[in-house]
Structure 1
Amino acid sequence: MNSRSLKSHILVVVLSAFVAAWRSDPAPALAAGEFRQALPGYAFSFPHDHYAHEEFRTEWWYYTGHLRAKNGEEYGYQVTFFRSGLVEARKNPSRWAPRNLYLAHFAVSDIGRKSFRYFERVSRAGVGQAGASQTEFRVWVGNWKATGDGTRRRLVAGEGAFGVDLRLASGKPPVVHGENGVSQKGEGRGHASHYYSLTRLATEGTLTVRGKTLEVAGQSWMDHEFGSTELNPDQVGWDWFSLQFDDGTELMLYLIRKADGRPDSYSAGTWVGADGRAVPLKLPDFAIEVLDRWVSPRSRGAYPMKWRLTAPTIGLDVTVIPTFPDQELDTAKSTQVVYWEGAVKADGSVAGRRVTAKGYVEMTGYAAPFRKKL
């Protein structure tokens, strides 16, 4: 994320939880098999809201970042953990019944070589194979894990000759997106998520690429989102942007696309000042203009590949370009979604000041309309 504000998958296809939801207290009583909806009035409480929220059906913890090795090489990375509640399992009174499915994605973008590698995992929460704690920050799928406290994290993932072992420290407080505790994604009660971000995480550690381990440092972004609904039938996908500017500000935007090609009126975003102050953005506060496209040789999806982002209320006018085009994932073994998630760079102006940025873009629904497979 992202709408790193939307995603849902396998046995509830977790990537459509950019349309997820979060918690509000006190929680209403739920019948067996029911999940809580994301509704207005939710009051975030940290560090508790960093933890798992099993009363909601879909949840994910999403990390992306730009890293630089001591030899000057530049890389992007993504590590995402998904939790998907299993409806029938929740009706089973046995304490041994696995109630959640856990999935994870790990990707490395080698910017200099224009090389992209990704990996995926899926596991039921049985015998400690995967899980997410409700009492501390700990989520894992096998030996891939994210752990830590409210301000410091450790992120570990790897497969074969690729891996990350990173330490992340938050430079700003959590940024809550939306209004009144919810990020609304469509018409209707509960068509929303509880969604917040850590928009600037100082990052250091090691990155292993093609068997070579490098010391790296850079900046990361974290999204945490949870809810219980999916995209509406006329919503086919989304474009999500996260940008970290060189003046200490950040931007998150997501554009939900309708079947007729128009942007959904629930598309939204947040501008984060250098002091951490958050400014919510709605259509028509911002516009996203596609300037170029790239066609995947595998999925034949025609993805936007260059954008102009404008937001007159904050004086934003920037051009965003991927570090290279082919950063597409086909997650048939886990979330069963073909999507584009890649490292980008940007330049332009904000309030008349020249700025540059690094970030990530996620796009779903271009290879096929975003829908559950199971």
Structure 2
Amino acid sequence: MKKREIIISGLLFILLLSPVKICSEEFKRALPGRTFSFPQDHYSHPEFKTEWWYYTGHLQTQDKKSFGYQLTFFRTGLRKERNDKKSKWAIQDLYFAHLALTDESKNHFEYREKMSRGSLGEAGASIYGSKEPFRVWIEDWLVELKGYQSQNHFLKAGGKDFGIELLLTPGKSSIIHGQNGISQKAEGEGFASHYYSIPRLATEGRIFLRGKELAVLGMSWMDHEFGSSQLRQYQVGWDWFSIQLDNGVDLMLYQIRHKDGKPDPYSSGTAIFPDGRSEHLPLKEFRIEILSHWKSRKSNAVYPSRWKVHLPRYGIELTLSPTVKDQELITNASTRVTYWEGSVKVEGKYQGHSIKGKGYVELTGYAEAFSKGI
């Protein structure tokens, strides 16, 4: 490992062990009443400690080969105050990125990771209030809006042996999750995030895999979330689901787990309809049933691996199955979190009619408790 990476890894280790109360005292908490404004809220919010920009999607080549992808950029704040005259060596944020590709036809999953401090221009993110086009980057990995008022997202990560270059065009507006501007994650003021999604983005571009360049088309999902102290000590991880049904209905659901495996009462979701309407879903509105498990040979973690999702009020009953069972990321070179993040196929019933779709599932806290100052 390079010297610079060793230094950053040491800083990250200290950061992850920091108690939650330090976050709440030094950084702003997610509180009710926030009014979102776009495209400005795509930008970075450095007054909050933790922030991420998350993209997943389902892609297909001209010869009908299917791929899933994930690209996520993370920002972790080390200090709230911003100093325009700071030394070029000063570290105010740490940046991380994960890129993953699922080759469904070959039952193959592969990923890369990056990390950097936000100095010397090697990493950063355009700050809320800036008039420049939005951009978040680590070296040559980046997400950017193609112009200040543009709604198109350009993604570039990896290289010619393994990478993506994609242009995403929103098909739906940004959807705010939760209630009154916050997505509550636990009991108590500030144990929440500001969280929104763009649930459908038409996608075109190319992927690079095993030395081959493949032209692709598909559909993506984008999340952006920021806060400072979302989880309580008794919460160990979460199960998160994004679902895009063929009839134009989209679902976001998450269950935050307690140490005894039960979902936290503040777990929730959002139903998003073809006309752009959305409805908040408290935990009582849905049930997620685990149908089977998969054990990782690398981490020995045991993950749920097939699910049935019930939303009785909407007449929705869906079965979610991974396209590839092993979609685990062990990110020892960046965030030091082991988690499962993968593409799933969706089949079931919608108001009595058969329905299909696609989705992504994220599972944290199965390899270790995920309560490290998040």
**2:28 maps to which of 36, 39, 59:** 36
1:289 Cα deviation (Å)? 0.2
The answer for the alignment partner of 1:26 in structure 2 is none
Shift of 1:94: 5.5
1:129 alignment counterpart: 122
Post-superposition offset of 1:355: 1.1
Deviations for 1:265-310, whole angstroms, at most 9, x for unmatched residues?
0110001001111011011100000000000011111100100000
- Residue 50 of structure 1: CA displacement? 0.8
What CA deviation, in whole Å up to 9, does each residue of 1:251-273 have, x standing for no partner?
A: 10001000011110011000100
Which structure's residues are more often helix, by fraction? 2
User: Structure 1 pair 356/12, CA: closer, same or farther in 2 (3 Å)?
Assistant: farther
Is 1:56 aligned to residue 76 of structure 2?
Answer: no
Over 3 Å counting, the alpha-carbon distance change for 1:331 and 1:92 in structure 2 is same
Deviations 1:10-68 (A, max 9, x none): 55459xx9xxx9xxxxxxxx9xx821110000111111101110111110000000000
- Amino acid across the alignment from 1:60: W
What's the TM-score, normalizing by structure 1? 0.90
Whether the 8 Å CA contact 2:160–2:208 is kept in 1: the answer is no
Q: Decide whether the 8 Å contact of 1:336 with 1:373 is kept in 2.
A: no
Instruction: Give the aligned residue type for 2:31.
Output: L
Give ranges in structure 1 of 5+ residues lacking alignment. 1-8, 22-29
In structure 2, the residue matched to 1:223 is 223
> Does structure 1 residue 168 correspond to structure 2 residue 161?
no
Aligned pairs for 1:1-374 (under 5 A) are 12-13=15-16, 34-87=26-79, 90=81, 95-96=86-87, 97-134=90-127, 135=130, 136-148=133-145, 149-159=149-159, 161-372=161-372
3-state SS in 1 of match to 2:313:
helix
In 2, Cα distance between the equivalents of 1:150 and 1:83?
23
Q: Do the aligned residues in 1 keep the contact of 2:159 with 2:208 (CA within 8 Å)? A: no
Deviation at 1:372, TM superposition (A): 2.5
Shift in Å at residue 214 of structure 1? 0.4
Which amino acid in 1 is paired with 2:329?
Answer: L
Assess, with a 3 A threshold, how the Cα gap between structure 1 residues 309 and 236 changes in structure 2: closer, same or farther: same
Deviation per residue, 1:58-97 (Å, 9 max, x gap): 100000000001121110000000011003x849896122
Cα displacement (A) at 1:98: 2.2
Runs (4+) of structure 1 moved beyond 3 Å? 9-14, 89-94
Paired residue secondary structure (2:284): coil
* AA aligned opposite 2:50: T
Q: Could you tell me which amino acid in structure 2 is paired with residue 256 of structure 1?
A: I
SS in 1 for 2:247: coil
Q: Give the direction of change, closer, same or farther, for the CA distance of 1:353–1:107 in structure 2 (3 Å limit).
A: same
The TM-score with structure 2 as length reference comes to 0.90
Paired residue total: 350
Give the match's secondary structure for 1:217: strand
What is the deviation of 1:371? 3.4
Higher relative contact order (CA 8 A, sep 6+): 1
State the distance in 1 between where 2:150 and 2:290 align: 37
8 Å CA contact 2:96, 2:335 repeated in 1: yes
Alpha-carbon distance between aligned partners in 2 of 1:12 and 1:315, rounded to the nearest angstrom: 45
**Structure 2: gaps spanning 5 or more residues:** 1-11
Q: 2:142, 2:353 → 1: CA distance?
A: 39
CA deviation after TM superposition for structure 1 residue 202, in Å: 0.2
Which SS does the other structure have where 2:216 is aligned? strand
Contact 2:229/2:373 (CA < 8 Å) preserved in 1? no
Distance in 2 separating the partners of 1:10 and 1:104: 17
Between 347-356 and 288-297, report the one with greater CA deviation. 347-356
Amino acid at match of 2:283: L
Q: 1:103 to 1:10 in 2, by over 3 A?
A: farther
RMSD: 2.1
Contact 1:250–1:272 (CA under 8 A) maintained in structure 2: yes
Q: Percent identity?
A: 51
For residues 15 and 83 of structure 2, what CA distance do their matches in structure 1 show?
18
